[in-house]
Chains A and B, each alone.
Chain A
Amino acid sequence: MRSRALGIVLALAIALTCSTAAFAQTKTSSSAPATPTPFDPHDLSGVWFDERPRPLTTNERYWIYKFNAEEPPMTAWGLAQYDATKSSFGTRAYPLAETNDPLYHTCTPPGLPRIYLHPFPMQVVQTSGEVIVLFEYDSIRHPIYTDGRAHDTTLGPLWMGDSIGHWEGDTLVADTVNFNDKTWLDRIGHPHSNALHLVERFRRKDHEHLDLDITIDDAKAYTKPWTTQIEFMLKPKWTLAEQFCEDEESFQKMDKDAAAPAK
């Protein structure tokens, strides 16, 4: 279904590019290359997907289970937590039956920022005071209030945190605090504490691409703030499907579909 839709998208994109070029030539005599599709940099709406390849063998594809190829700068506490995890992903993967991944065998939410590593699309919708990221995975959402409010310290601790945002030029800067410490930061078991502070910088660099830079600051787990980048592709023909965590079975099926565990 998706690959068929992708084919249509590609064909349409080619057709549009060509017709724009032809149109440009009739209006002006310039032979400049086709102009890119216009877009409003403050409009992030649409369905987006992290299109990095996700092959069956995951060891060498870090983006399936962690944010950067290099290890984040863990504190002694962070390292001890990490050593105790038994992830079903990555270079030291355990079989699913042995993993202590908090998502398995329960239906707890993956939390932020781990949700970005799950291989499902997301849709951004915007209202006058909110940018809402809707994830296909388990119907999770990440509301970012852009109406000028401050963090609500009466909330939480929360799985997805408490996010406020503002625009700096063409970049939406989202600041998220007030997390619980029940989730892993990624799918390989890097930890975070409830002091986790995320800064996300969303920028639509052209019509089809959304860049997300995330800064992870958690003084208990990491010796210094560190950053990661994810590039999302617009999927104009896609819509989010219904996908719910139902039970342990569904996780196992999903993981087999998405990426077989290493080893």
Chain B
Amino acid sequence: MKLNRIIETRKVSLGFALVFAMVLSFSPAASAQSKQTPEAPKVSTLDTSHDLSGVWFDDHPRLIKVQERYWAYTFTLEAPPMTPWAQAKFNAAKASFGPHAVPLVETTDPLYHTCAPIGFPIIYLYPLPMQIVQTPGEVIMLFEWDSLRRQIFTDGRAHDTTLGPLWMGDSIGHWEGDTLVTDTVNFNDKTWLDRMGHPHSDALHVVERIRRIDHDHLVDDITIEDPKAYTKPWTAHLPFVLKPKWTLAEQFCEDEQSFQTIDQDAAAPAK
């Protein structure tokens, strides 16, 4: 089958990359010895550390019962440090997830019953894969969910204050060693921060430190700062695993029905 061929191709190219990396890591040392006296071991010149491309999927376990699996609906096990403004918003929210879950027909989740974009960073909590593609000046995250796209400009530009407010924010990034540091501002306040109803304001500022820790794993340490909603910045740790054989499917929000189907498939609402 064609699928097998694709799998084999991916394995072959990975094998090739590894062999290539080994060759490179040995050969500079060898040539260095002939030219000068041996010094500290040379680092491989094959720099794959800035390559985040591929299809990635949340690496938390997912079970049918979502109550005790916070990562299906919020970023951290402990509650974030809400201001009174945020606490009031949170208390008024009726989420279909988490310990205070209400049935879908009663939810006030802004995503239900409309096809509004899901926003950022809540998109990370949806149980669908994302693909990263890179161009010389951009790291682009493509989310399977509703065909959403997030562009992180790495060409040195500043935030564009003429934009927005935006659903996905305005993201710029730069590399600090092997870590892509992204800075996102210029949000609208129409989305929830997570699927449980924690709020954010249009002052939301998200900093992410995205690092490929090995070939198959990507971690995103995300800092949420929003002085209107939270008394201090707080962080969450998002693990992702590479899915070399996956491709993103077409998935569009079409209507209320499609939401219900998706949620039933992904995780039955609590209660």
Chain B residues, CB < 8 A from A86? none
For B148, give the chain A residue with the smallest CB separation: A139
- The docked-state distance in angstroms from the alpha carbon of A107 to that of B138 is 28
Assuming the A-B contacts A125-B140, A244-B117, are A107 and B253 also in contact, with contact meaning beta carbons closer than 8 angstroms in the complex?
Answer: yes
**Residues in chain B near residue A127, CB distance under 8 A:** 53, 133
Q: Which residue of A lies closest to B1 (CB)?
A: A150
Q: Does B105 contact A (CB under 8 A)?
A: no
Which of B2, B135, B142, B253 is close to A141, meaning CB atoms less than 8 Å apart?
B142
Beyond A125-B135, A147-B6, A150-B2, whether A242 also contacts B248 by CB under 8 A is no
**Residues of A with C-beta under 8 A to B40:** none
Q: Is residue A148 within 8 Å, beta carbon to beta carbon, of the partner chain?
A: yes
Interfacial chain B residues near A108, Cβ < 8 Å: 252, 254
Nearest opposing residue in chain A for B157, CB measure:
A239
Q: Is B247 an interface residue (CB 8 A)?
A: yes
Tell me the minimal C-beta distance from B110 to chain A in angstroms: 11
CA of A106 to CA of B116, assembled, Å: 11
Complex interface: stretch among B28-36, B164-172, B173-181, B195-203: B164-172
Instruction: Determine the distance from Cα of A172 to Cα of B253 in the docked complex, in whole angstroms.
Output: 30
Residues in B neighbouring A64, C-beta threshold 8 A: none
Q: Would you call B5 and A148 a contact (CB within 8 A)?
A: yes
Mask of B239-262 contacts with A, CB within 8 angstroms, 1/0: 000000001111011110000000
The chain B residue with its CB closest to the CB of A182 is B254
How far apart are the CA atoms of A212 and B162 in the complex, in Å? 33
B271 to chain A, nearest CB (A): 30
Cβ of B146: which chain A residues have Cβ within 8 Å of it?
Answer: 139
Interface segment, one of A10-18, A33-41, A156-164, A251-259: A156-164
Closest CB of chain A to B111's CB: distance in Å? 12
Also in contact, A159 and B250, with CB within 8 A (given A141-B149, A244-B117, A246-B116): yes
Kindly state the separation between the CA atoms of A68 and B200 in the bound complex, as whole angstroms.
48
Q: Check if A107 sits within 8 Å of B115, measured CB to CB.
A: yes
Known: A149-B6, A242-B167. A247 touches B114 (CB 8 A): yes
Is the CB of B13 closer than 8 A to any CB of chain A? Answer: yes
| A132 lies within 8 A of B133 (CB) | yes
| Partner pick for A140 among B114, B147, B253, B254, CB 8 A cutoff | B147
Q: Could you say which residues of chain B place their CB within 8 Å of the CB of A145? A: 247
Q: Is the CB of A241 closer than 8 A to any CB of chain B?
A: yes
> Least Cβ distance of B62 to chain A in Å?
23
- Check: B74 CB closer than 8 A to any chain A CB: no
Interface size on B, residues (CB 8 A): 36
Given known contacts A147-B6, A148-B5, is B168 in contact with A242 (CB within 8 Å)?
A: yes
Q: Mark B122-164, 1 if CB is under 8 A from A, else 0.
A: 0000000000010100101010001111010100000000111
Contact A143 B2, beta carbon cutoff 8 Å: no
The listed residue (B3, B142, B252) touching A159 by CB distance below 8 A is B252
Chain A interface main SS type: loop
A139 touching B147, Cβ below 8 Å: yes
A130 to nearest B CB, angstroms?
A: 8
Q: How far is the CB of B99 from chain A (nearest CB, A)?
A: 31
B9 proximal to A (CB < 8 A): yes
Asked if A134 contacts B2 (CB within 8 A), the reply is no
Q: Is the CB of A158 within 8 A of B5?
A: no
CA distance A160 to B5 in the complex (A): 25
Contact between A244 and B167, CB atoms less than 8 A apart: yes
Q: Assuming the A-B contacts A106-B255, A125-B133, A127-B53, are A148 and B140 also in contact, with contact meaning beta carbons closer than 8 angstroms in the complex? A: no
Contact flag A149-B250 (CB < 8 Å), given A106-B255, A107-B115, A244-B117: no
**Residue on A with the closest CB to B149?**
A139
What is the CA–CA distance of A156 and B251 in the complex, to the nearest angstrom?
A: 10
- Check B250 against A134 for contact (C-beta < 8 Å): no
Excluding A143-B247, A242-B168, 13 further A-B contacts by CB distance (< 8 Å) are A106-B255, A108-B252, A109-B147, A127-B133, A134-B142, A134-B149, A140-B147, A149-B3, A149-B5, A239-B138, A239-B151, A242-B166, A245-B115
Q: Jot down 17 A-B pairs with beta carbons below 8 A, ordered by A.
A: A107-B115, A108-B252, A127-B133, A134-B140, A138-B147, A139-B146, A139-B149, A140-B147, A147-B6, A149-B3, A159-B250, A239-B151, A239-B153, A241-B163, A242-B168, A244-B167, A247-B114
Q: Give residues in A with beta carbon < 8 Å to B.
A: 1, 45, 106-109, 125, 127-130, 132, 134, 138-141, 143, 145, 147-150, 155-156, 158-160, 239-242, 244-247
Q: State the B residues within 8 Å of A (CB).
A: 2-3, 5-6, 9, 13, 53, 114-117, 133, 135, 138, 140, 142, 146-149, 151, 153, 162-164, 166-168, 247-250, 252-255
List the 5 closest pairs (A to B, CB-CB), nearest first: A107-B115, A149-B2, A244-B117, A139-B149, A158-B250
